[in-house]
Structure 1
Amino acid sequence: MSLLAILLAYSLERTLEVTRNLHWRRLVLRWQHAQLNNTQLQQWRQNNLGQVLWALIPALLVGFLLAIFNSLLLSFLISSLGLLVAIQAPQARAAYKAYVIAQEEEDAAEQAYQLRRLRQASGRQQAAPVEHLLLWIHLRHYFAVMLYFVLFGVMGALLYATLRDMRHERSEGWQTLQQIMDWLPTRAMGLGMLLVGNFRQAAAVWLSAIGNKPQNNFIALTKIAEAAEQLTAQTTVALVKRNFLLYIVLIALLTIAGWL
């Protein structure tokens, strides 16, 4: 069922235009806004942990309801829908298409503008080349959601998407939380890239990324990708597609073996 839900959701994401009101980010922000408007939740508003717990309630509720009803058909439908709304990144997709057109037309001003849009869609504050932004967007909107879905079901995917998208105050604690939740997806995606890219060059870089000294996930991911492939915007897209297909095949094999 997991494999079918992934294939359905990721196929629909490319062909079906989902209204913004159904994007998980929009739903989470509305839920947080309800907290801000409720005077009885003043103490939760003033507590960072309380804000996080409040934001996680919708995802936890989805998992709770699926556990109560214990229906295979319902689980499949909710899982597919949950994945579909969690992986939405229309701004990034539109910005990349416009960037490619501007690149072909050698329009430097338009390229710079679309690069800023991509950076905004990626959630990065620092400037970065288009290849690195594409890697980060794919990791956080597609690969990590799929990985946590396989490991923990739709509730795990939605919990990750909530922490990715919720409104929050910038703090060292929040940065640590983001580092923790992206650590496993970064290393798993890096492993796939070295398997579908230049294994000999990328293996050492990947091993250093899982060593004792923690690395920034963004830096670790881009270093592995640069070792696995000579990156341009087009080759980066091709690399992440090969990586994604590799994991789809792996999930299919685990499903056939009865482990998923």
Structure 2
Amino acid sequence: MYLLAILLAYSLERTLEITRNFHWRRIILRWQHWQVKSTQLEGWRQHDLGQVLWAIIPAIAIGFVLLLLNSTLITFLVSTAGVLLAIQAPEARKAYKKYLIAEAEEDGAEQAHQLKKLQQAAGRNEAAPVEHLLLWIHLRHYFAVLVYFVLFGITGALVYATLREMRHSRSQRWELANQIINWLPTRFMTLGFLLVGNFSKAAAIWLNSVGNKPQNNFIALTKVAEQAEDLTALTTVALVKRNFLLYIILVAILTIGGWV
């Protein structure tokens, strides 16, 4: 079921244009807004933990209902829909296409404009090369959702997407929380880079990102990718596609073996 849900959701994401009101980001932001507007839990809401607990209620509720229904068909349909809503990144896809057009036309101003949009889609405050932004967008919107879906089902995927998208204060605690939820997907994704890219050059960097004090996930991701492939916008997309295919094959093997 996991494999079919993943394949269907990721295929539909490339072919269907879903209105923004049904993106998981919009659902979560409306949920948070309703809580702020309609409840009197002001003191509770001021705490980061309280904000998180409130925000993940929809994801937990979906998992609880599916557990009660205990229907394979319903679980498959809801899981597919949930993954599809969680991986939506249409702004990034449009900005990337326009960036390539501007690059071909040697329009520096338009390239810079689209690069800024990619930076916003990646949730990065600091400027970064287009290759690094594409890697980070793929990790947060596609690969991490895949990892948490395989490990914890649709509830895990939606909890991750909730923490990725919810509004929160910029604080060290939130930076730590994001470091934690992206740590495992980053290491899995970069491990794949070793296998589909230049293993000998990237292996030492990957081992360092795992064995030593945890690095910033963005830095760990981009460092390994740079060693695994000579990065340009096009080669970066090719690298993440090969890597994603590798993990789809792995999920297929796990499914055949009855482990997922």
Return the TM-score normalized by structure 2.
Answer: 0.99
SS at match of 2:127: coil
Distance 2:203 2:70 in 1: 42
**CA shift at 1:212, angstroms?**
2.9
After superposition, give the CA deviation of every residue in 1:216-242 in whole Å (9 maximum; x if it has no partner). Answer: 000000000000000000000000000
Distance 2:192 2:39 in 1: 48
| Equivalent runs, 1:64-103 vs 2, <5 Å | 64-103=64-103
Q: Which amino acid is 1:144 matched to?
A: A
Q: Which amino acid is 1:97 matched to?
A: K
**CA shift at 1:41, angstroms?**
2.0
Show the counterpart of 1:109. Answer: 109
Show the counterpart of 1:245. Answer: 245
Name the count of aligned residue pairs: 260
Distance 1:199 1:173 in 2: 35
Show the counterpart of 2:55. Answer: 55
Q: Which amino acid is 2:187 matched to?
A: R
Show the counterpart of 1:214. Answer: 214
Distance 1:110 1:62 in 2: 42
SS at match of 2:40: helix
Distance 2:20 2:84 in 1: 12
Q: Which amino acid is 2:190 matched to?
A: G
SS at match of 1:244: helix
Runs of 4+ in 1 over 3 A off after TM superposition: none
Distance 2:184 2:98 in 1: 32
Show the counterpart of 2:160. Answer: 160
Show the counterpart of 1:38. Answer: 38
Distance 1:50 1:255 in 2: 37
**CA shift at 1:46, angstroms?**
1.7
**CA shift at 1:38, angstroms?**
1.9
Q: Which amino acid is 1:160 matched to?
A: Y
Show the counterpart of 1:21. Answer: 21
Distance 2:22 2:255 in 1: 30
Distance 1:234 1:251 in 2: 26
Structure 1: state its 5+ residue gaps: none
**CA shift at 1:207, angstroms?**
0.4
Aligned-residue sequence identity (percent) comes to 71
Show the counterpart of 1:134. Answer: 134
Show the counterpart of 1:234. Answer: 234
Q: Which amino acid is 1:82 matched to?
A: G
Distance 1:216 1:224 in 2: 12
After superposition, give the CA deviation of every residue in 1:15-38 in whole Å (9 maximum; x if it has no partner). Answer: 000110000000000000001102
After superposition, give the CA deviation of every residue in 1:90-131 in whole Å (9 maximum; x if it has no partner). Answer: 000000000000000000000000000000000000000000
Show the counterpart of 2:173. Answer: 173
**CA shift at 1:39, angstroms?**
3.9
**CA shift at 1:45, angstroms?**
2.1
Show the counterpart of 1:205. Answer: 205
Structure 2: state its 5+ residue gaps: none
Distance 1:213 1:150 in 2: 27
Distance 1:7 1:44 in 2: 40
RMSD: 0.6
Q: Which amino acid is 1:96 matched to?
A: Y
Distance 2:212 2:233 in 1: 32
